[in-house]
Amino acid sequence: MTSGSVPERARVFSGIQPTGETHLGNYLGALRNWVSLQDGNDAVYCVVDLHALTIPQDPGVVATGTINMARMLLAVGVDPDRSILFVQSHVREHNELAWLMQTVVSFGELSRMTQFKDKSDRSQFISAGLFAYPALQAADILLYDTAVVPVGDDQRQHLELARDAAIRFNFRYGDTLVVPAHHITKAGARIMDLQHPENKMSKSAESIQGTIGILDSPKEIEKKIKRAVTDNDGEVRFDPAEKPGVSNLLSILGAATDTDPKALAHDYSQYGPLKKDTAEALISLIEPVQTRYNNLADEDVLETLDQGADKAREIAESVMERVRDAVGLVPQNAGG
Ligand code: TYM
């Protein structure tokens, strides 16, 4: 998997789960790149509701979460005039290709996925779907002839599996699937928990004090940054191994202001001013997103998703035709 530059007019695909609150890690690690990659590329973005079901969920939470996540994506700047925005379960081909992906990835590969190990350690009921999750993710990506997948660093292993699945499929059945070549890593690819900076910021963190929600009020943001764990030596230095808390604040401020976190460290001699500037930068970054989020009506979001699914299906159907043909599935009207 390579990172960095994007080929000219590339197909871009990415997804986000609809459950839990959208947080700063999602925004800085992925969503901001989704927005910038709309320029000059063919971008397809998806609310992956089927992925959320790998862990038992309340149906109401899935339904409202899906609409609210689409609302959030529009609020951060996904533009339906330039990109396709849709819900995974609206395009049935995701399931169909996921099954075929399960036949080309191995039990051993799926067993090595660190996210599966983490999540299954924390769950009482470990569904087969949780185990096969990366095969569905591979299908999401490969169904759109994707070249570029903007994600945070935590998805690296899943992307490598998608790439291996495409290569193996092509080896078995002939050149059929596009092998995704690029993984975007940029500033903000790994935003850590404010209370436990050795862990990534996540929806499932034990304490909400460690996670900044995109819908948090300015007061909450200030409070959470003020209470962020640092250390006792008092030196502002970018050193994620030795100084994870301070480095995380520098990464956040750097990503929010498009500045190199190492260079930023030279501007500060104390933690207080670093925290104050970080909170201010976040508030001015997030406030316009909140305003747009609050002004979007459900009907408009649903209409956008409807149109998005139609456009996504067109691409997915043609790729699936190619895939069915390659694996030897006889078309229904083969007899004429
Ligand atoms: P999800 O819903 O957990 O997260 C959505 C995106 O946010 C990024 N992210 C982070 N980036 C930096 N720092 C963090 N602390 C942080 N936490 C989350 C994630 O890397 C992701 O880009 N399996 C995927 C969803 C998915 C998908 C796909 C992604 C399903 N199919 C196809 C790409 C392509 C997931 O659970 O992301």
In angstroms, rounded to a whole number, what is the distance separating the alpha carbons of residues 46 and 205?
24
Choose among 47, 46, 37, 70: nearest CA to 147. Answer: 37
pLDDT at 14 over 70: yes
Q: Tell me the sheet residues that pair with 200.
A: 192
Q: List Cβ neighbours of 265 (8 Å cut-off, separation of 6 or more).
A: 236, 237, 238, 250
pLDDT at 3 over 70: no
Q: Report pLDDT for 203.
A: 83
Q: Report pLDDT for 185.
A: 63
For ligand 1, the distance from its centroid to the CA atom of residue 151, given in whole angstroms, is 6
Best residue for ligand 1 mutational test, from 1, 12, 16, 73 (most atoms within 8 Å of Cβ):
16
Tell whether ligand 1 has an atom less than 6 A from the beta carbon of residue 156.
Answer: no
Query: Which among 186, 203, 226, 311 is annotated as catalytic?
Result: 203
- What is the mean pLDDT of the segment spanning 67-76? 98
Tell whether ligand 1 has an atom less than 6 A from the beta carbon of residue 190.
Answer: yes
Would residue 276 show up in a list of annotated catalytic residues for this protein? no
For ligand 1, the distance from its centroid to the CA atom of residue 81, given in whole angstroms, is 24
- What is the mean pLDDT of the segment spanning 330-336? 77
Q: Report pLDDT for 207.
A: 76
Atom of ligand 1 nearest to the CA of 189: 12
Tokens of 35: 């927005």
Tell whether ligand 1 has an atom less than 6 A from the beta carbon of residue 244.
Answer: no
- Cα dihedral sign for 18, 23, 29, 33? positive
Task: Report CA-CA distances (Å) from 65 to 18, 69, 108, 241.
Answer: 5, 6, 33, 35
> Over the stretch 287-317, which tens digit does the pLDDT of each residue have?
999 999 999 999 999 999 999 999 999 999 9
Tell whether ligand 1 has an atom less than 6 A from the beta carbon of residue 237.
Answer: no
pLDDT at 12 over 90: yes
Tell whether ligand 1 has an atom less than 6 A from the beta carbon of residue 30.
Answer: yes
Tell whether ligand 1 has an atom less than 6 A from the beta carbon of residue 248.
Answer: no
Q: Residue 212 in contact with residue 200, Cβ under 8 Å?
A: no
Q: How much of the chain, in percent, has pLDDT values that exceed 70?
A: 96
Q: Report pLDDT for 332.
A: 85
pLDDT at 333 over 70: yes
> Over the stretch 116-171, which tens digit does the pLDDT of each residue have?
998 888 888 999 999 999 999 999 999 999 999 999 999 999 999 999 999 999 99
Would residue 203 show up in a list of annotated catalytic residues for this protein? yes
For ligand 1, the distance from its centroid to the CA atom of residue 69, given in whole angstroms, is 13
> Over the stretch 240-286, which tens digit does the pLDDT of each residue have?
999 999 999 999 999 999 999 999 999 999 999 999 999 999 999 99
- What is the mean pLDDT of the segment spanning 49-73? 96
Tell whether ligand 1 has an atom less than 6 A from the beta carbon of residue 154.
Answer: yes
- pTM for this model (two decimals): 0.95
Best residue for ligand 1 mutational test, from 32, 91, 151 (most atoms within 8 Å of Cβ):
151
> Over the stretch 91-113, which tens digit does the pLDDT of each residue have?
999 999 999 999 999 999 999 99
Tell whether ligand 1 has an atom less than 6 A from the beta carbon of residue 14.
Answer: yes
For ligand 1, the distance from its centroid to the CA atom of residue 328, given in whole angstroms, is 34
Q: Report pLDDT for 6.
A: 72
Secondary structure, 3-state, 102-166 = HCCCCHHHHHCCHHHHHHHHHCCCCCHHHHHHHHHHHHHHHCCCCCEEECCHHHHHHHHHHHHHH
Q: Report pLDDT for 321.
A: 97
Residue with tokens 């599996």: 161
Q: Report pLDDT for 20.
A: 85
In angstroms, rounded to a whole number, what is the distance separating the alpha carbons of residues 82 and 300?
16
Which pLDDT band, with edges at 50, 70 and 90, does 84 fall under?
very high
Task: Report CA-CA distances (Å) from 69 to 9, 49, 217, 222.
Answer: 27, 10, 18, 24
